[in-house]
Chain A
């Protein structure tokens, strides 16, 4: 099939500024989400995701202005996640120019919110973000559970069952983060990615753990992901999105070059 696998840089935004250090030598203001988004767009990013990491009310208003500014200059799909709790939050983000919103803890708290959101705005713009952590020990069958509060609080929900449920409730895409791998640079949890991707009929974005270009390729080839999301590997100018795509293409993956 000719549909390209996607590479999605993720920007963590706090009070209108990109945090977790973006460093481009030739960018004037590496904390400005608009500058950074433009750079990734030029590099060939297939989409851009903004994660509002504090998501207070004040932050949300700031985020809306960020989205408005980016959407008038960058003409690729934009996703906004973090603190999306009501249909009004969604409406405001979409009106500002976001194409999709990521729903995470609000879905765990109240799964019907996903149903309501999908009915109102269409599944195509509802991304359910899942933070999963392995709970099986070596020798046992693989098992992951949904965690909230940055991986600290277990919900007891089985990750594969939860993903399936979210799709029946109207999620159009799953953003899957391995809490075991997030920030470790040791690659995606490929078993987890494959388990979820094979269990649901909607696209799955793999996230958490990318440390080198081969990790992205593995996420697609071995993890069966439809898209891969990464932050630090691109932020520090170690690799460009274009390099990542060339590497994927050289291993037989369809990409948009």
Chain B
């Protein structure tokens, strides 16, 4: 029996994430949305989603004592960070006048710079809609997903890891930013696989069958 924990810390709608996982999971997989550290630590795979603002995100994780749980999971079992759940893994975010984050992946989270748009058209923020994901490495989570497939994004901040080697994909808006990162048993994406139709479901399927080795 495979047990998947979706970390519930009150940040946004987790129903879509769990429903999308259920739709690709086999009969032998249970999916639980939970804030219980014991259940998260006992799971085989952990999904760390989130939408909203980073200060509330880190605040809630600390209040529920999930910050150290995520740090431990990041060293021990397949972990998938999604959107804000990806940004929280970095060291620091510019959002909310600056917030120290989990510091599992060294680097910063920065705002899209509207003023310095290279494009002649005004850069719209949030970056909202379906954009191409350029896979920069081969990885089990990219299995059966075509290069430059479009995934659904909605965000105003993006990750800028200190070590470029953690980049698993980039996306152009209006310059290349890091849209997926990986490190050992950790994989995190800026886009929403649970809202990205077939390609998104394929990525979730790949995650459920991933043993955490890249």
The interface of chain A, by Cβ under 8 A from chain B, is: 1-6, 41, 46, 68, 71-73, 75-77, 94-99, 121-125, 172-173, 198, 201-203, 224, 226-227, 256
Contact = CB atoms under 8 A, between A and B. Distances in A.
A71 B174 contact: no
The 4 closest A-B pairs by CB, nearest first: A122-B52, A256-B130, A72-B19, A4-B130
Contact of B15 (A2, A76, A97, A224): A97
Nearest to A122: B52
B150 A4 contact: yes
B130 A203 contact: no
Given A75-B195, A97-B13, A3 B51 contact: no
Contacts of B150: 4, 256
Contact of A95 (B13, B127, B130, B131): B13
A123 B126 contact: yes
B172 A1 contact: yes
B3 interface: no
Interface of B: 12-13, 15-16, 19-20, 22-23, 51-53, 114, 119, 121-132, 150, 152, 154-156, 171-174, 192, 194-197, 200-201
17 contacts: A3-B172, A4-B130, A71-B15, A73-B23, A76-B152, A77-B154, A97-B19, A98-B13, A99-B13, A99-B154, A124-B126, A124-B156, A202-B125, A202-B126, A226-B124, A256-B130, A256-B150
Central interface residue in A2, A75, A96, A121, by most chain B CB within 10 Å: A75
Q: What's the dominant secondary structure at chain A's contact region?
A: loop
Contacts of A3: 127, 129-131, 172-173
B126 A75 contact: no
Given A75-B200, A122-B53, A125-B51, A203 B131 contact: no
Contacts of A124: 51, 126, 128, 154-156
Contacts of B129: 3-6, 46, 203, 226-227
Nearest to B119: A1
A125 B89 CA distance: 22
A119 to B, nearest CB: 8
B127 A99 contact: no
Contacts of A256: 130, 150
A95 B15 contact: yes
A201 B124 contact: yes
Nearest to A224: B121
Contacts of B125: 201-202
